[in-house]
Amino acid sequence: MVLYRCLATFIIAGATASGKKLVLATSRVDIVGHTCSIQGIRPHHGLITKVTNWPVPTSVSHVRGFLGVAG
């Protein structure tokens, strides 16, 4: 019943889903740079590693690049 209501809400909202990208009945999913699980929503581990290893910016364009990654 819950799955039916969820899919019905998608249809009403006009959303579409790709069969290759649709994930059902899983305990964890990575989406839009975050890992969503029963424990909550956390930034994706790969992004954290990228930000912590980022070199010190030396120009405005480097700062913009960092801000783009850090979000």
pTM of the model: 0.48
Per residue in 5-62, pLDDT (tens digit) is: 888 898 899 988 788 877 778 888 888 888 888 899 998 888 888 888 999 999 999 9
* pLDDT score at 49: 87
Q: How far apart are CA 28 and CA 46, in angstroms?
A: 15
CB-CB neighbours of 43 under 10 Å: 13
Q: What is the pLDDT of residue 56?
A: 92
Q: Which residue has the tokens 């120009």?
A: 59
In whole angstroms, give the CA distance from residue 67 to residue 61.
Answer: 10
Can you give the pLDDT at residue 4? 85
Contacts of 23 (CB under 8 A, 6+ apart): 29
Is a pLDDT exceeding 90 seen at residue 71?
no
